[in-house]
Chains A and B, each alone.
Chain A
């Protein structure tokens, strides 16, 4: 699957800015697993959005006469311990799990980019303080912190879960953006911008940030996969999204009680986490190959 590497042509200097993104797009298009990943995610997104139209069932109210029905035509993934249609619940749960994953990464990337660019651009003691903070947060096992926050503020709201997941995952981005800024700010084009009188903010926003975008995009994509797993772990432990609102994680928590009688209640929700995470990882892999040509060259050796 790593075989779709493409020879990297050196773009003519004139066309450099626009040309690089187009070349990246071409490389991405040749990465078949990534394309498959996008297709699967699009399909999943469609079903998750369209579930009220597609499914005749309610995701939350119990139907006690239809408990633990195995997969059939009426219930393609069976029903759970309260007689609710599992497929419907999985799709509604997908809304929560995907949205939480995306938004948590948005929080993480925003915080990480702000910290990283401040540290990288200003250097000195600002850099020292910020990067030692990153080291500090990195040193504490994040699952432990996640559990503590979950227990201390029992029954976290969805917004709070997003915030907590985001605030435990910003450090990678911060280190990455800082490294980019450190090397970019010494380059001639930044000096040139400074010579014509550009202020700090303009240099950061117009020159440094756009040139750091590629690694940010890659980390963000792979981060969504990680955040989906983190959310489902938290909900699986009973500390995340609270029932009756379904999420892939809390459905699996319920399933631990019912596995013996109704194994499908454990198999299907986890399968959807797996499919979503694999697809996103494929897209992230494809983006990395497309946006970082050096990475591909290394792979080819």
Chain B
């Protein structure tokens, strides 16, 4: 096991390097070059631009620039935002709690709901409840997130006026838990409904597969109570693939839901990326892309390792 983890870690290195090359290429692909923002500054001379180029190291050969950038990035020096003139790292750390707060709530809520719903629909396959839930999950899987968000705003924000339309808190109000929660409900529900559809479908299928196995019949033959069979025997095994899916979701916690954050004016990482993209604030773009890609690789690694740990039938050569 330890050797497998080590080998997988070593294997991710070339992948990470590949990502760093792509991220670096994105900097080079900024329309008008990395200094485009400065060139539009009034009163700037060619001489100033050349001096800036020199101070940023842009007059050096590409491989040198790449290695310099990579060295700085790995040691946590992510540069400064071109627009907000603050260290990129502190800007990201400033937004991270907001995204974790939103996505963490979604994550927990989806898990709490998906496990019982997936289990019950599998145990009562083809019942009225099963058909209703399967239909609903299919519908939510096919709904564009941003439309769902708009519908929720129309119904609960504009029509019924129960909940705020956006933001994280009422402006000018000192910290108030109730107010925070009221702002959280709509964006969290939007993301959760779409995710819940996928999770329930997955768990139901996995449960159905497990229920058909021989050891389930043995458990029944032993005279165990049905609830014990379902929870202790079936769910325990059926949930293994769910762990994989959860691990694969780790990057989501960081990336957040860009579109949902956009609709609800939620100041998270997704919004940070969006604002940086529209203003070609490339130090932020590079950092967010690099971190999220690295998290995708980490999520994959954890998923594989967890799977092997939980399911002894899987052997790694």
Footprint of B on A, CB under 8 Å? 1-3, 132, 135-136, 138-141, 143-144, 147-148, 151-153, 225, 229, 232-233, 236-237, 252, 255-256, 259-260, 263, 266-267, 270-271, 273-274, 277-278, 281-282, 298-299, 301
Contacts and interface: CB of A to CB of B under 8 A. Distances in A.
Contact of A136 (B22, B135, B263, B277): B22
A2 B134 contact: yes
Interface centre among A144, A273, A299 (most CB of B within 10 A): A144
Contacts of A281: 138, 141-142
Given A147-B273, A237-B262, A301-B208, A263 B154 contact: yes
A301 B153 contact: no
Contact of A141 (B14, B131, B296): B296
B15 A132 contact: yes
Contacts, number: 120
The dominant DSSP class at the B interface is helix
5 contacts: A140-B292, A236-B146, A236-B259, A237-B274, A301-B211
Contacts of A299: 205, 208
B84 interface: no
B243 interface: no
B15 A135 contact: yes
Nearest to B290: A140
B205 A140 contact: no
Contacts of B274: 147, 237
B146 A225 contact: no
Interface residues of B, number: 51
B144 A273 contact: yes
Interface stretch (B23-31, B49-57, B302-310): B23-31
4 cross-chain pairs, A with B, having the tightest CB-CB distances, nearest first: A301-B212, A270-B147, A278-B142, A277-B142
Given A274-B143, A299-B208, 12 more contacts: A132-B18, A136-B15, A140-B296, A143-B259, A147-B277, A152-B29, A152-B30, A229-B144, A252-B150, A256-B263, A259-B153, A259-B154
Contacts of A273: 144, 147
Contact of B258 (A143, A260, A271): A143
A174 B154 CA distance: 41
The dominant DSSP class at the A interface is helix
A147 B29 contact: no
B288 interface: yes
B289 interface: yes
A279 to B, nearest CB: 9
A277 B18 contact: no
Contact of B154 (A3, A141, A267): A267
Contacts of B292: 140-141, 144
Contacts of A225: 142
B19 A140 contact: yes
A140 B29 CA distance: 17
Contacts of A301: 208-209, 211-212
A232 B145 CA distance: 11
B126 A3 contact: yes
B278 A151 contact: yes
Contact of B293 (A141, A151, A259): A141
B197 to A, nearest CB: 11
